[in-house]
């Protein structure tokens, strides 16, 4: 396991705050309120450990399969349905959505290899990530990866707690399946828009692992 680079600054700042708060409490209250110092120490330590855990990248054997769509994120499958895409395809698509809780690994990975043909950031609201309108109303970043005659839209969606979407891709870039393409900070969702008729390999409420679980077969 290692810590994702997006967490370096956040963890460094949190560590400084952790040290400052505890030094102050032990300096002023250790003689008379030692129990309070201990309480503050363990509470702030829990927050710091949560941040470290949030930015963790576990060691995994990633799945490479040219005929498959691999999960772009850790989380739970909350939507499998046909929908009308109004952003890029302008027609009916199969939508599969993965909800990422704050406890999940939050790195995002390319679900397939190919070329980036569309990349667009959208400002928006911060509805809870499982809200039906979060796909179209929330802050989000959409990317379309084309492989042969197939195109797949991957949409990073901010949630009620997520305040920053990071996306590393650009139009014309060649990408490889399971490589990192972005990161979302603190609770979020990733949508996949696939061609109608795509064979789905997951079910509602199933837990999936980014870069590992086969979502669908092309």
CATH number of the domain within which 198 lies: 2.70.70
Band (163; pLDDT cuts 50, 70, 90): low
Question: Are 53 and 91 within one domain?
Answer: no
Among 57, 79, 95, residue at a domain's last position: 57
> Residue 123, exposed/middle/buried by CB under 10 A (0-12, 13-18, 19+)?
exposed
- Residue at 174 is within a domain: yes
* pLDDT reported for residue 48: 93
Distance set, CA 34 to CA 19, 23, 40, 45, 47 (Å):
17, 13, 10, 16, 20
Same domain, 102 and 23: no
Host domain of residue 85: 68-217
Question: For residues 172 and 114, is the Cβ–Cβ distance under 8 A?
Answer: no
Do 11 and 111 fall within a single domain?
A: no
Is 208 among the domain residues? Answer: yes
Q: Which of 29, 57, 85 is the last residue of a domain?
A: 57
Same domain, 51 and 124: no
* Structure-block tokens of residue 187: 């609770």
**Residues identified as active-site:** 188
Does residue 123 sit in the same domain as residue 208?
Answer: yes
Same domain for 93 and 188? Answer: yes
Name the most confidently modeled range: 1-15, 86-100, 149-163.
86-100
User: Is residue 63, in this structure, part of any structural domain at all?
Assistant: no
Residues 180 and 81 grouped into a single domain: yes
Task: Give the chain's domain count.
Answer: 2
Looking at per-residue pLDDT, the higher value among 162 and 64 belongs to 64
Same domain, 43 and 137: no
Which of 17-21, 71-75, 101-105 is least confident? Answer: 101-105
Report yes or no on 62 lying in a domain.
no
16 occurs within a structural domain? yes
Same-domain status, 111 and 157: yes
- 103 and 195 inside one domain: yes
Which residues neighbour 68 within 8 Å (Cβ) at sequence distance 6 or greater?
112, 201, 214, 215, 216, 217, 218
| pLDDT on residue 84 | 94
Same domain, 107 and 206: yes
User: Which of 110-119, 128-137, 200-209 is the least confident region?
Assistant: 128-137
Residues 53 and 80 in one domain: no
DSSP at 43: H
């Amino acid at each position: 396991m290692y810590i994702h680079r997006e967490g370096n600054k956040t963890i460094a700042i949190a560590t400084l705050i952790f040290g400052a708060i505890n030094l102050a409490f032990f300096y002023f209250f250790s003689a008379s309120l030692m129990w309070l110092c201990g309480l503050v120490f363990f509470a702030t330590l829990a927050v710091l450990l949560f941040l470290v855990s949030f930015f963790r990248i576990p060691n995994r054997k990633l799945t490479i399969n040219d005929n498959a769509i691999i999960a772009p994120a850790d989380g739970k499958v909350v939507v499998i349905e046909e929908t009308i895409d109004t952003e890029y395809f302008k027609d009916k698509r199969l939508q599969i959505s993965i909800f990422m809780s704050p406890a999940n690994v939050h790195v995002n990975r390319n679900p397939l290899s190919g070329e980036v043909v569309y990349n667009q950031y959208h400002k928006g609201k911060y509805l809870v990530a499982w809200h039906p309108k979060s796909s179209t109303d929330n802050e989000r970043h959409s990317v379309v990866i084309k492989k042969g005659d197939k195109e797949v839209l991957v949409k990073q969606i901010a949630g009620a707690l997520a305040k920053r979407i990071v996306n590393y891709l650009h139009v014309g870039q060649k990408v490889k399946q399971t490589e990192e393409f972005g990161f979302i900070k603190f609770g979020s969702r990733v949508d996949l828009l696939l061609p109608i008729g795509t064979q789905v390999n997951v079910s509602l409420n199933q837990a999936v692992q980014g870069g590992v679980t086969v979502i669908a077969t092309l």
